[in-house]
């Protein structure tokens, strides 16, 4: 099989991630002339995504990042629709970004795999479900992998391609070419592992930060300052946790622990304490820092 030539992209699930992934493909891949379908099974989600895309492009033009003509071309190439079947039949690459439920992903990707060409690349954007858990639901799983974007996908450049035991090298190479063509930086993860690479490293940093705090080695502020001023992190681990949600950290670690039984995967006792108090970070006005006065 030669390298798959990608012309048509289908993003399934028009939520927070799907919108930005589809827009990235249409906007940053505009020199490749991709036709991009952004699909959702819920009419309200389709409507919301269409409104978002229109406003996003207007904003880019207003800020003079792109010309009106470029915005018009992008809008023309970005088709936001409920018709998943039509998009699947045309697509050379499908990126699934529906809700994080195994059964829904199996259903959606299984269905699509029966409608698209046998060499259409199939990617799941899931952060937690490795594509092995979907492979038996999908026709020709050699073209199936995790294609993991980071939030916000229009800004973040990294995309993790996770190769399952069923995934062919050709499919990984074709996905990598596509990701580079939309101005992003793909990395290949050769083995399936929970959290992939970036989130695992992030978790290890957050964990060490909590452990230092627990031991009374330094304050929240000083640990963040160490990372920001000494390691050039854009944001220290506590400030970052406040932004992404201490509750999210809690749930991810509980899930991980349930999976591995490894004590080191448990949430830090300080995270448990914050979780029980309902201090989740910015969204509750208090986390590691107090945001209520700002």
Ligand X SMILES: NC(=O)c1ccc[n+]([C@@H]2O[C@H](COP(=O)([O-])OP(=O)(O)OC[C@H]3O[C@@H](n4cnc5c(N)ncnc54)[C@H](O)[C@@H]3O)[C@@H](O)[C@H]2O)c1
Return the DSSP state at 281.
B
The one segment of 57-65, 96-104, 183-191, 269-277 that binds ligand X by CB under 6 A: 96-104
Of 10, 11, 14, 138, which lies in the binding site for ligand X, with binding defined by CB under 6 A? 14
The one segment of 23-31, 93-101, 115-123, 131-139 that binds ligand X by CB under 6 A: 93-101
Closest to ligand X by CB, 90 or 223: 90
**91 forms part of the interface with ligand X (CB under 6 A):** no
Return the DSSP state at 286.
B
Catalytic status, residue 219:
no
Distance (Å, whole) CA 186 – CA 160: 6
Helices 43-62, 16-28: crossing angle, 10 deg rounding: 50
Catalytic status, residue 199:
yes
Of 104, 205, 212, 254, which lies in the binding site for ligand X, with binding defined by CB under 6 A? 104
**135 forms part of the interface with ligand X (CB under 6 A):** no
Q: Are 17 and 97 in contact (CB under 8 A)?
A: yes
Return the DSSP state at 195.
T
Closest to ligand X by CB, 134 or 171: 134
**42 forms part of the interface with ligand X (CB under 6 A):** yes
Q: Is 136 helix (H, G, I), strand (E, B) or coil?
A: coil
Query: Of 192-251, which residues contact ligand X (CB under 6 A)?
Result: none
Two tokens, residue 158: 């990294």
Return the DSSP state at 211.
H
Of 55, 100, 208, 222, which lies in the binding site for ligand X, with binding defined by CB under 6 A? 100
Query: Of 145-174, which residues contact ligand X (CB under 6 A)?
Result: 149, 151
Distance (Å, whole) CA 112 – CA 12: 10
27-37 burial, b if ≥16 CB within 10 A, otherwise e?
Answer: bbbbeeebbbb
**18 forms part of the interface with ligand X (CB under 6 A):** yes
Point out which residues bind ligand X (CB under 6 A): 12-18, 40-42, 45, 97-100, 104, 108, 125-127, 149, 151
Residues annotated as part of the active site = 127, 148, 160, 199
């Amino acid at each position: 099989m030669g390298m798959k030539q990608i012309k048509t992209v289908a993003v399934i699930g028009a939520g927070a991630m799907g919108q930005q992934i589809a827009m990235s493909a249409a906007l940053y891949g505009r020199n490749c002339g991709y036709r991009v379908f952004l699909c959702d099974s819920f009419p309200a989600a389709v409507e919301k995504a269409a409104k978002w895309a229109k406003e996003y492009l207007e904003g880019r033009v207003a800020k003079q990042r792109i010309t009106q003509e470029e915005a018009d071309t992008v809008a023309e190439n970005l088709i936001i629709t409920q018709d998943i079947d039509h998009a699947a039949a045309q697509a050379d690459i499908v990126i699934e970004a529906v809700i994080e439920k195994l059964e829904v992903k199996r259903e959606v990707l299984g269905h699509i795999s029966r409608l698209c060409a046998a060499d259409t690349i199939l990617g799941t954007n899931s952060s937690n479900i490795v594509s092995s858990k979907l492979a038996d639901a999908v026709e020709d799983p050699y073209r199936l992998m995790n294609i993991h974007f980071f939030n916000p996908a229009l800004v973040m450049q990294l995309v993790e391609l996770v190769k399952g035991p069923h995934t062919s090298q050709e499919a990984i190479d074709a996905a990598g070419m596509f990701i580079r063509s939309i101005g992003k930086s793909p990395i290949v993860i050769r083995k399936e592992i929970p959290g992939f690479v970036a989130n695992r490293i992030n978790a290890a940093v957050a964990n060490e930060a909590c452990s230092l705090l627990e031991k009374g080695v330094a304050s929240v502020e000083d640990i963040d300052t160490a990372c920001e001023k000494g390691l050039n992190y854009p944001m220290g681990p506590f400030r970052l946790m406040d932004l992404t949600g201490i509750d999210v950290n809690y749930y991810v670690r509980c899930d991980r622990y349930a999976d591995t039984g490894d004590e080191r995967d448990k949430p830090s006792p300080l995270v448990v304490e914050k979780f029980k108090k309902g201090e989740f970070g910015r969204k509750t006005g208090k986390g590691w820092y107090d945001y209520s006065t700002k």
